[in-house]
Amino acid sequence: MAGSKKKFYYTVAKVLHWIAGFIIAFNLLSGWRLGGFELEHRVILLMIHSGIGVTIFGLMLLRWWWRRRNNLYTPPRWWKRPSMLLQWIFYPLLLIQPLLGVALASVIDYEVRAFGLINFSALAADDKAMEQLAFQLHGGLALLLIVLVLVHGIERSRKAFTND
Ligand code: HEM
């Protein structure tokens, strides 16, 4: 009984992992294209980009809570395993990235409304210097995340093939 419950908890964790992974990859890959669109279209695309970003934030909190509540993925001395540390690093980074996006949206000189509903532009006045800073941090962290996702993917595939 306890075993089948644990199995269910892991199944939920895996489903959440793949949903999050899919939309994170979407934002990481499509974000770079946004600047190339006319403002009229960029505003519409940013409704999707920022909405997905907010969803990622919520999903990461949910995943974090689910792992801790059900004591998942905690082999003995897990903090000494680079692969486990890498998994944990994603959580704070994927909470910071949407917050940087919100900071950027609040000072950028056009309207950013997540899913057309949450108006992040209303949070603060336009500010060119802050916009540049937030833009660099948001783009820089996106690059770091791409590298980490690649390392994570390589590490997981190596594990799957070598079975160690
Ligand atoms: C994990 C979530 C997110 C990821 C992975 C992500 C990724 C990216 C990437 C890769 C870029 C392009 C950066 C560049 O060109 O240097 C970008 C741009 C941007 N993102 Fe995000 N983002 C996320 C969440 C958000 C959120 C929540 C918001 C707003 C509430 C947001 C607002 C923006 C804005 C305003 C831009 C600039 C678009 C432009 O070029 O005019 N992002 N994002």
Per-domain residue ranges of the chain: 2-162
Q: Is 100 in the pocket of ligand 1 (CB under 6 A)?
A: no
Q: Is the pLDDT score of 162 beyond 80?
A: no
- Amino acid at residue number 156: R
pLDDT tens sequence across 39-89: 999 999 999 999 999 999 999 999 999 999 999 988 888 888 888 899 899
The pLDDT of residue 163 is above 70: no
- pLDDT, averaged across the chain: 94
State which of 26, 29, 49, 136 you would mutate to test the pocket of ligand 1, scoring each by most atoms of that ligand within 8 A of its C-beta. Answer: 49
Condensed to tens digits (0 to 9), the pLDDT of residues 112-130 reads 999 999 999 999 999 999 9
Considering only CA atoms, give the Rg of the chain: 18
Residue 92 structure tokens? 């704070």
Helices marked H in 31-127 — which ranges? 39-69, 82-107
**Total-model pTM:** 0.93
105 exposed, middle or buried (CB, 10 Å; 0-12, 13-18, 19+)? buried
CB 81 within 8 A of CB 111: no
**pLDDT on residue 164:** 55
